[in-house]
Structure 1
Amino acid sequence: MCAETPDYKETLNLPKTNFPMRAGLPKREPEWLQKWENMGLYNRLREKQGRKPFTLHDGPPYANGHLHIGHALNKILKDMVVRSQQMMGKDARYIPGWDCHGLPIEWKIEEQYRKNGRDKDTVPLVDFRQECRKFAAEWVDVQRAEFKRLGITGNWEMPYLTMDYHAERVIAEEFMTFLMTGTLYQGSKPVMWSPVEKTALAEAEVEYHDKESFTIWVRFPVLNSYNPALEGADVVIWTTTPWTIPSNRGVVYHQDISYGVYEVTAAPEDNWVKTGDRVLLADKQAASVLEKARVESFSRISDAGDLSNTSVAHPLAGMEGSNGEWDEPRDFRAAPFVTEEDGTGFVHCAPSHGMDEFELYRDAGMLEQVLTYNVMEDGRMRADLPFFGGKRILKPNGKEGNVNTAVIEKLAESGKLLARGKIKHSYPHSWRSKAPLIYRNTPQWFAAIDRPVGDNQDKFGKTIRERALNSIDKMVEWTPKTGRNRLYSMIEARPDWVLSRQRAWGVPLTCFTKTGGKPTDPDFLLRNGEVNARIAAAFESEGADAWYAEGAKNRFLDGIVDPEAYEQVFDILDVWFDSGSTHAFVLRDRDDGSEDGMADLYLEGTDQHRGWFHSSILQSCGTRGHAPYRGVLTHGFTLDEKGMKMSKSLGNTVAPEQVVKQYGGDILRLWVAQSDYSADLRIGPEILKNTADAYRRLRNTMRFLLGSLADF
């Protein structure tokens, strides 16, 4: 053995580093976040002059409740965009915001009242609104802390709130722009109505779920016709809304459908349909309908022939106790929307509860004769309606009321019920209360999207719809590209925008109508710039509560016009108008907004094609002539590990705050970073565990690299 043994230690590369093997994220992340906050990191990044600005405009979450995993996905994606743009040399600005008005907050306050035995109707409106404001402010603070814990960088000291006084002023000013340009009008038409919430809803507030409904086939006796083949026959209709039968004003058919007169030749003795009965049906549906009516045999005795100049009787006409409510003959005419693919080939018309029927009779100049007002705001039938007065379409909890069964029983009693059943189908529900909706004709305020705006901002078109569609194609970059098609098709086909809501917590429709005037009168709406300026100044200093203060009408009108000549409107604006106006009071008005009042990017979930993307472009096209954004990026929804929709009832939800406590915020951020945001993202315990393992591998690799460079 050699006297001197070589020291191989010096030839080995033994990594040396102070970088710990364990991250301890739940403990250490709050320390890092506090350090960055103490040094004013966001504001320090703004100090370097000459950087090209980049503005990602935050779509406001609702200030109600703790964050869910969808919030985390959305805000982390935004943070990644903002940070990457900053590192690419831009001044990447991010102002977080909150949507603070609306029904869910009202409900929470009303719920507190009920627990304490208080009646909302006895509370002064301004006091109620102040409680709503306080509730929203508390949840803004909670959510702000939860977002900051996820490591989201932004101007958290000065977020935007739709309930800030300046915001309420600008929202009112944007509305008054619609007023002054003539795109605002009051109309009476069937709108999506929530009996539970007692208000109209916009398209963006409607979601579709499967619902089991009653389905009935009803006979309308032919009263007179030039066609002898129809003598003694009944026209059969099919509907899934029995409650609309009391509001029926007619029956429609299609000129190109083949109809026949069918005679029942055999039927059970206890059947609603008897041997010898004659019914008028579309040939394509006759066998199916008669089978449902338990008819054992039948024969087609003739073609229906010419159906014009025919009238029918209401199925409840002449019943004892009906007080003549339905005795007037019902209209019978052709309509383009009738099909033979389902039903009977005939459609019963209740123009107060269906848009197709409403438009049919409007175009015929018959609306005043056919509109009914049988359904009250809470879904009860008007008190003096024979047989059904006070009965409900829906209970206050959203469950099935008692009017459908009452109508079915009366139809059976009258001998005009052919068949009944149940059907499971896709049905509109409120996205807030989850309760079913109805169509109900009510006076509402609308923005006319096909009326020339007349503001000399016509580069992209003369109407709101034209401007929106041209902006989509000529101004906006879509990621993914399919987003363009979704929004374009929605705006291309949508009706006028319902702006009004019959609630308390929100920005009011700041307008006045001529006392005793009609919506069609040229001077029905007061359009006065001096009045508008008074309203704006009051809102800037006092908020929208100024509209509800005692003497408000005189305050705004006195000395300009006669206050007694006008009525004050007390409906509030659709909250989507609030959030659709954020480009004005954030991007345009704030020093840290954007130079041209436009955003480089709006980034939200795919549901916002019918929500914020939609309302923002309509609102902006109505006041500035084009879209408020240059780019739109959409991400998918969050699902559980099995690809199922998350639901508290299923117990498969993932709370961000629990993930942060167990693993740390960086694990959530890594989950987002390694996922395809354009598709729906899965998350759950196993996926989070695998993400944490991936983080450890990344960390250990980094630790080895740092250790290897210790003496470099």
Structure 2
Amino acid sequence: MADATDTTDTPAGRDYRDTVFLPETPFPMRGGLPQKEPVILEQWGDLYGTLRAERQKQNAPLYVLHDGPPYANGDIHIGHALNKTLKDFVVRSRFLLGYDVDYVPGWDCHGLPIEWKIEEQFRAKGRRKDEVSKDEFRAACREYAGKYIDLQRDQFKRLGITGDFANRYATMDFTSEAAIVAEFHKFKNSGQLYRGSKPVMWSPVERTALADAEIEYHDHVSPTIWVKFPVTGASDDHPDDLLAFRTGTPSIVIWTTTPWTIPANRAISYGPEIAYGLYEVTAMEEGLEFAPWAKPGDRLIVADKLAEDVFRAAKIAAWTRIYDINPSGLECAHPLAALDSGYGFSVPLLAGDHVTDDAGTGFVHTAPGHGADDFEVWKAHGHHEVPDTVDPDGAYYPGVPLFAGLKVLETEGKKTGKFGPANGAVMDKLIEAGNLLARGRLEHSYPHSWRSKAPIIFRNTPQWFIRMDESLASGDSLRETALKAIDDTAFHPAAGRNRIRSMVEGRPDWLVSRQRAWGTPLAMFIDKQTGQPLHDAEVDARIVKAVAEHGADIWFTAPDSDFLGAHDPARYEKVEDILDVWFDSGSTHAFTLDPRLPEHGYTGDRPAHWPADLYLEGSDQHRGWFQSSLLEGCGTRGRAPFKAVLTHGFTLDEKGEKMSKSKGNTTDPLTIIKESGADILRLWVSLVDYSEDQRIGKQILQTTVDAYRKLRNTVRYLLGALADFDEAERLPLDQMPPLERFVLHRLHELDAQVRTAYTEYRFQDVVRPVLEFCSNDLSALYFDIRKDALYCDRPDSLRRRAARTVMDEVFMRLTAWLAPLTPFTMEEAWTTRFPDAGTNCARVIPETPAEWNNPAEAARWAKVQRVISLVNDALEHSRNNKWIGGALDANVLVWIDSDDLYQAFVGLDAAEVFRTSTATIRQGVGELSGWTAAGFDEERVWPIVSKIETAKCARSWRRVPDVGSDPAYPDLSARDADAVRYWDETHA
């Protein structure tokens, strides 16, 4: 039917607009979400408590999502919004599927970013960190973190996140710190913990050791140097003239990108399988702007494969290879020995499997205090003394000859993170000593601190480690236990398993100590005589009890005797390092899930269960929280604290570039919520493939708004069409017309898809099929066909009752299916129709009758829609040529030369299907007069459109033969006359 408010070409007489049953609803077309959503939040109150109480009454099965804690230091950003929204999809969809969901939001509170902020605050007041007591400093950190926990909590709530915020956890809570200490004690007491002095990744800017998970790699330009180590000794199996000085002392050449480590050199490593040669320089390049450091007659030992590269760098034009060299047994002088007796020691040649001839010289300068491979090869050859060259600030210790006090990296001011004077000073001294062969610059990938973004160095320090390869009580090592746990875990997407597995297979021992102030301490005592941790259950219990009552600060302020009891405090050293923050967050399962297990004394009605059903974070957490939780759980309980892991990618701008404030390409979730509403942001999350990196920006959000309008308009139309619907109208399936049977089949089909997609965390596979259903099956087909019956049939007609029955079923499912994704809009729709029925969020998906499944009807309508598309082409052509004004002016004769397509129309009203006044289907070959359209001949379908000259019904505007057949209503069709008579009688 035409728009009932249009009066164009309306026959004279009564105005029937009031008799048309137009949709009526207070649900507006415009969402107004920024204003409505806060009102809905207020109405929800403690929604999470309501939902859990409802499910617990039903004795629903428990589902646990454990929250990976965001860091408490600022407003939420788009990454927070993506992560927390995905978690909310999980929580709400599991409630929708009938589960009782345990989800406790939490926060990570310790660590360097907060320390820096507090240091800045004290500096602004003219106080350095070392002038502030640890107690005062930690109190300021605690206050800062608490402020942002409150801020982020409110922002997450505004986003529509539902969870147990009233009982949120934070790693700085006293009970949390006590639980973390207790977990640490388990590693201490099981023998998995040890103190080792080895090179670790060290941040001079942050003055602390860093673990692999705290490192990221960025392009970095480093100086490169080729250095000569003069050979001073050789075993008997070397050529007699190797040390004959007729043509100069031979030198082994090394290449390094860290000149500052030369003072720490103690050896040179070589590859036993690499071919080396002794070369003599015979000529230098000419016409150079500078004098090269090499000269004819120099004898150099390098790998044969790399000799040409080395000589090119040194500007050597010609050379002679004298003979093969086996580096085994050679000894060299330190290249700075001629300048200071402090470097007068011998530098041995050590075989090492880590040496290759892919780049450099085939020899590796070995500074055991500044590299993992260097350390291992030094130890493997029986050496135990590892020199300490650089202090925590990245400056040479006072005892380092020639370079005392010089910094490797700047740690203060505008040059923080830039190279200090150390590299340049070392190169200058190598030139002075005559042992610098060449130098250059190299741009390469270099490790940086994840937090400060400053370069790090390798530095030998005593640190505490958890062993990865020591056998546990089970007989397996921590690494083996973790790898088995990975195999037993479900990963979404599946590629996550290989990623974390490769990281765990290759990771070193877990470095857990940090030299900072704000964190949970390694609360233990070391026996000064043995160097081993004290194992005393009563001491451990006193420590944990004190921390639970007073917080971790008590460890730094209380006298040792308070904890040691009968032990002599003079014999023990208190460890004041703090734990790696990943150990903190990796232990969160221990104080959010474990405490509510019956075996831990929980007496409530609904304990949580361990392990959690799901951990959900960004893909970077394979090296972070996922891995630390895995290792913590495996080390203390023999398995991972999760059954499944879900990972999402990172959010980029519309061009696919990483967001940064300096670029000005960030998208602020709080701005989106303020301008468009949280449901728009949530809909964007549901539409993207979260397993990959996703993009966001104004244009993408506009596409999301368009999709939202489709959903909203669909729900609005349903609400209008269902005004005053009651159970007396409901029609049973066996009385449903074919079109309604088809829509019910689509509901049955979608219901299975939605349930499976939610179960498997495929939220895109919920919203996209539902959007297509709304656009294609409902708006473009069902609503359009049934509009005439809804508006113009009398209310008790079977056709109208069937339509309203099906629309009720559609409404009940759409508002349920979409409740986890766009909860505010679905709540508004639900309460508009059922203001006294409670919250939409508490519903479960309505059961869908199996008898709705009707593949035959679906197949029929797939064929019918192919014909509809061709008829629409013909109608459009006729309108464009002004042969007809609209579809209701048309009669359509459709020839179908396909028995399959023809049979699809058996039992259907073709005029109703085509939305024309009259239509006829005939089997056979037809011919279009005057034009052809693509697809007609292929489908063997030929629609012929002609204009109807009969009278137009003044109410429905259909041109049908029975207009005027009822004398009481001479300007109406019989159907419309009957409906108006009903209207007049009921409104008398």
- With structure 2 as the length reference, what TM-score do the two structures score? 0.68
Work out whether residues 42 and 153 of structure 1, in 8 Å CA contact, stay in contact via their aligned partners in 2: no
Distance between the aligned counterparts of 1:248 and 1:438, measured in 2? Answer: 15
Q: Map 1:120-519; keep pairs closer than 5 Å.
A: 120-225=129-234, 226=236, 227-228=238-239, 230-231=242-243, 232-267=249-284, 268=286, 270-304=291-325, 306-319=326-339, 322=340, 324-368=341-385, 371-396=386-411, 397-454=416-473, 458=474, 462-474=476-488, 476-518=489-531
Confirm or deny that 1:555 pairs with 2:555. Answer: no
1:447-496 deviation digits (Å, cap 9, x = unpaired): 11211222xxx3xx52211111111112x111111111111111111111
Q: Give the counterpart letter for 1:171 in structure 2.
A: I
- Aligned-residue identity in percent: 55
Q: Map 1:628-639; keep pairs closer than 5 Å.
A: 628-639=641-652
Tell me what 1:16 maps to: 24
Confirm or deny that 1:114 pairs with 2:120. Answer: no
Higher mean C-alpha deviation, range 698-707 or range 649-658: 698-707
Distance between the aligned counterparts of 1:241 and 1:485, measured in 2? Answer: 34
1:175-211 deviation digits (Å, cap 9, x = unpaired): 0011111111111111110000000011111111111
Work out whether residues 42 and 155 of structure 1, in 8 Å CA contact, stay in contact via their aligned partners in 2: no
Distance between the aligned counterparts of 2:558 and 2:20, measured in 1? Answer: 86
Distance between the aligned counterparts of 1:145 and 1:515, measured in 2? Answer: 49
Work out whether residues 338 and 433 of structure 2, in 8 Å CA contact, stay in contact via their aligned partners in 1: no
Q: Give the counterpart letter for 1:20 in structure 2.
A: P
Give 3-state SS (helix, strand or coil) of 2:346's partner: coil
Give 3-state SS (helix, strand or coil) of 1:157's partner: helix
Confirm or deny that 1:585 pairs with 2:591. Answer: yes
CA shift for structure 1 position 8:
4.7
Work out whether residues 220 and 445 of structure 2, in 8 Å CA contact, stay in contact via their aligned partners in 1: yes
The alpha-carbon distance between structure 1 residues 352 and 594, as it changes in their structure 2 partners (threshold 3 A), is: farther
Tell me what 1:571 maps to: 577
1:634-679 deviation digits (Å, cap 9, x = unpaired): 1111111011111111111111111111111111100000110111
Distance between the aligned counterparts of 1:328 and 1:54, measured in 2? Answer: 65
Distance between the aligned counterparts of 1:59 and 1:45, measured in 2? Answer: 26
Larger Rg: 2
Q: Give the counterpart letter for 1:697 in structure 2.
A: K
Distance between the aligned counterparts of 1:332 and 1:629, measured in 2? Answer: 49
Work out whether residues 55 and 594 of structure 1, in 8 Å CA contact, stay in contact via their aligned partners in 2: no
Q: Where in structure 1 do 4 or more consecutive aligned residues deviate above 6 Å?
A: none
Give 3-state SS (helix, strand or coil) of 1:14's partner: coil
CA shift for structure 1 position 34:
1.5
Q: Give the counterpart letter for 2:611 in structure 1.
A: M
Match of 1:79 among 56, 73, 88: 88
Distance between the aligned counterparts of 1:419 and 1:186, measured in 2? Answer: 40
- Number of residue pairs matched? 692
Match of 2:533 among 525, 528, 531: 525
CA shift for structure 1 position 307:
2.2
Q: Give the counterpart letter for 1:22 in structure 2.
A: R
CA shift for structure 1 position 55:
0.5
Confirm or deny that 1:685 pairs with 2:685. Answer: no
Structure number with higher relative contact order (C-alpha < 8 Å, ≥ 6 residues apart): 1
Tell me what 2:751 maps to: none
CA shift for structure 1 position 49:
4.2
Distance between the aligned counterparts of 1:376 and 1:104, measured in 2? Answer: 22
Distance between the aligned counterparts of 1:255 and 1:447, measured in 2? Answer: 33
Q: Larger % of helix: which?
A: 2
Distance between the aligned counterparts of 1:701 and 1:629, measured in 2? Answer: 40
Tell me what 1:601 maps to: 614
Give 3-state SS (helix, strand or coil) of 2:45's partner: helix
Q: Give the counterpart letter for 1:230 in structure 2.
A: L
Higher mean C-alpha deviation, range 246-255 or range 684-693: 684-693
1:133-164 deviation digits (Å, cap 9, x = unpaired): 11110010011111111100111111001111
Q: Give the counterpart letter for 1:556 in structure 2.
A: F
Work out whether residues 51 and 95 of structure 2, in 8 Å CA contact, stay in contact via their aligned partners in 1: no
Q: Give the counterpart letter for 1:589 in structure 2.
A: P
CA shift for structure 1 position 7:
5.8
Give 3-state SS (helix, strand or coil) of 1:325's partner: helix
Q: Give the counterpart letter for 1:470 in structure 2.
A: K
Work out whether residues 200 and 502 of structure 1, in 8 Å CA contact, stay in contact via their aligned partners in 2: yes
Distance between the aligned counterparts of 1:649 and 1:185, measured in 2? Answer: 43
Give 3-state SS (helix, strand or coil) of 1:589's partner: helix
Distance between the aligned counterparts of 1:4 and 1:497, measured in 2? Answer: 89
Work out whether residues 350 and 377 of structure 2, in 8 Å CA contact, stay in contact via their aligned partners in 1: no
Structure 1, gaps ≥5 residues long: 519-523
Tell me what 1:708 maps to: 721
Distance between the aligned counterparts of 1:358 and 1:386, measured in 2? Answer: 22
Work out whether residues 588 and 594 of structure 1, in 8 Å CA contact, stay in contact via their aligned partners in 2: no
Work out whether residues 52 and 101 of structure 2, in 8 Å CA contact, stay in contact via their aligned partners in 1: no
Distance between the aligned counterparts of 2:254 and 2:314, measured in 1? Answer: 13
- With structure 1 as the length reference, what TM-score do the two structures score? 0.95
Tell me what 2:97 maps to: 88
Give 3-state SS (helix, strand or coil) of 2:104's partner: coil
Work out whether residues 115 and 518 of structure 2, in 8 Å CA contact, stay in contact via their aligned partners in 1: yes
The alpha-carbon distance between structure 1 residues 680 and 4, as it changes in their structure 2 partners (threshold 3 A), is: closer
Distance between the aligned counterparts of 1:190 and 1:46, measured in 2? Answer: 54
Distance between the aligned counterparts of 1:339 and 1:411, measured in 2? Answer: 25
Work out whether residues 22 and 721 of structure 2, in 8 Å CA contact, stay in contact via their aligned partners in 1: yes
CA shift for structure 1 position 48:
2.2
Distance between the aligned counterparts of 2:41 and 2:518, measured in 1? Answer: 35
Work out whether residues 584 and 597 of structure 1, in 8 Å CA contact, stay in contact via their aligned partners in 2: no
The alpha-carbon distance between structure 1 residues 169 and 7, as it changes in their structure 2 partners (threshold 3 A), is: same
